[in-house]
Amino acid sequence: MLYFYNRFFVLLARRVQVLPALGIAVVFWFAGPVLASQTGFDFSVHTLASKVPGKTALIVGGIQGDEPGGFNAAALIATRYKILSGRVIVVPNLNFESIIKRSRGVYGDMNRKFDRVSKTDPERQTVSKIKSMITDPGVDFILNLHDGSGFFTPTRENNMRNPDRWGQSIIIDQALMPAQYTGLFSDLSVTAQQCAENVNAHLIEPGHTVRVKNTRTAEGDEEMAKTLTFFAMKNKKPAFGVEASKSFLTPGRVYYHLLAIESFLTKAGISFERDFSLTQNEIEKAIDKDIALTLGERRILLYAENIRNRINYLPMEKDSEVQFLVNNPLLALVHNKSDFSLYHGNRCLSHLSPQYFEYDLGIDSIEMDVDGQKKQVPFGSRILVKEQFMVHPIPDHRVNIIGYTTQDMKDEAGFFITKDDCMQRFSIDRDGQIFRIEVYRQGKFNGMVLADFRFRNKPDKIAQITKDICNVEQVFK
């Protein structure tokens, strides 16, 4: 399976800011140069470059935090597409704080700050950073992804289908680029129309037709004159708004976003492949597939995919900043009073209840016997188990397999353990398949390994798995 982590999944996350209402333990990994994190909510930048020269697209998701179609589509481009020619730069989480807080804009509408932004505006730096990405001479065109209400139609049909609606449209500010512009997509209207037609060839239902909406911004639309796309236009960059209808659930919106994005990329000569098929069902799976985070000096790995809604007694480090790494740009850990909320975009996936320990970094791995083979397994990784595992005893250390209990057994090393020996409700996943192996020395926490039984009795799937031990930066499948 293709999983393109190696371009960007190196993240350093810090708890940077504690807001009055809720503390945010932040989260970021960066591709390329690390942008200074002032607020803890900086967006991430993912550059998907190919070896074949070509045009560069800049794709922006999440300018408004309550439009999950757009930011999930952008995150899928960042994580599950491979660019074969040309280059794609993705910002999947431009207004990340608003995404996590399910707000259109915690500090007002970010998409009205591209003409002027007040010096005291908390988003001033974010806006100025994305502006400099837009005006970068290396960028050829820009797509700004939105979810819009209802369905845009040129004439009024009813309350949900009329010229004032935005859903299912491709937005242009004017029909043509200025006369002196000689680059790609100089005829915005024709380009948008052709992309709309490409999308319309794959409608889920006929009523979902995508249409081009020309806001004629320069003719006096003061609101649109403040937007990202108009800023781009003024700087001679072709820019398109892509609006999927809020009438659909997220996978439906993402479906239309991806169709539109792919159409623009193809028209620009940027070729690509993705590792899932374009159906709502597959999109829904792809959004969550293999998402994970690591924390606690990288000694704890947690799958965010299919995680239980509460994880108890997570051994976190006493008196320490919460640091973590994620392998998906929409994952965030929010620090509440007594626990942590794990978010993917605006969905809260789980609550993590910490138990605080001092950490002992004396050992980095454990020796295990897994299905008859000896393995050295690093902390912060998972090990695939088909039938049974055993942790070799470590002098002066205690192994605790969460969900496995024997009578008064202090150290659970040295026992062969099958899935049926573990109580399902202690698994970290909802299906009762993934269990925590924790190691302690004199009351201090050493590290954790996950025993992953998900592929037990699935020899066909096991055969595709190339790595039986892997961490957050690696492929889980």
Q: Which residues make up the interface to Zn ion (CB under 5 A)?
A: 64, 67, 146
Smaller CB separation from Zn ion, 146 or 344: 146
When the beta carbons of 15 and 146 are compared against Zn ion, the nearer one is: 146
- Report how far residue 345's alpha carbon sits from residue 331's, in angstroms, rounded to the nearest whole number: 6
Q: Which segments of 228-271 does DSSP mark as H helices, in order?
A: 228-234, 250-267
The single-letter code of the amino acid at 54 is: G
Q: What element of type H or E holds 416?
A: none
Question: Strands, DSSP E only, in 27-140?
Answer: 29-30, 46-49, 56-60, 81-83, 87-91
Shortest approach of Zn ion to residue 59 CB, angstroms? Answer: 14
Residue with smaller CB distance to Zn ion, 67 or 284: 67
Tell me how far, at minimum, the Cβ of 241 lies from Zn ion, in Å. Answer: 8
Select 64 or 388, whichever has its Cβ closest to Zn ion.
64
Query: Tokens 């659909």 map to which residue?
Result: 248
Give whichever of 255 and 272 is closer to Zn ion, judged by the CB atom: 255
Minimum CB distance to Zn ion, residue 166 (Å): 7
* Residue 332 CB burial class (10 angstroms; 0-12, 13-18, ≥19): buried
- CA 22 from chain center: how many Å? 21
Nearer to Zn ion, 31 or 242 (CB): 242
Our CB check for Zn ion shows the closer of 68 and 238 to be 68
Which H or E element spans position 192? helix 188-200
**Which stretches of 371-442 are assigned E, i.e. beta strand?**
373-378, 381-384, 388-391, 398-401, 417-418, 434-441
The DSSP letter of residue 429 is: B
CB of 35 to Zn ion, least distance (A): 23
Residue nearer to Zn ion on the CB measure, 146 or 419: 146
Helix, strand, or coil (residue 206): helix
Q: Which is nearer to Zn ion, 63 or 268 (CB)?
A: 63
Task: Using CB positions, name the residue nearest to Zn ion.
Answer: 146
Min dist. Cβ of residue 233 to Zn ion (A):
17
> What minimum distance in Å lies between the beta carbon of 99 and Zn ion?
12
Angle CA 342–347–351, to nearest 5: 30
Q: What is the closest distance, in whole angstroms, from the C-beta atom of residue 92 to Zn ion in the complex?
A: 15
We find the least distance from the C-beta atom of residue 26 to Zn ion, in angstroms, to be 24
Residue whose C-alpha is closest to residue 347's, from 376, 315, 379, 306: 306
CB 64 to Zn ion: min, Å: 4
Burial (CB count <10 Å: 0-12, 13-18, 19+), residue 322:
buried
101: tokens are 């807080």
Torsion region of 380: left, alpha or beta (phi above 0 gives left; psi -120 to 50 gives alpha): left
Structure letter (DSSP) for residue 364: -
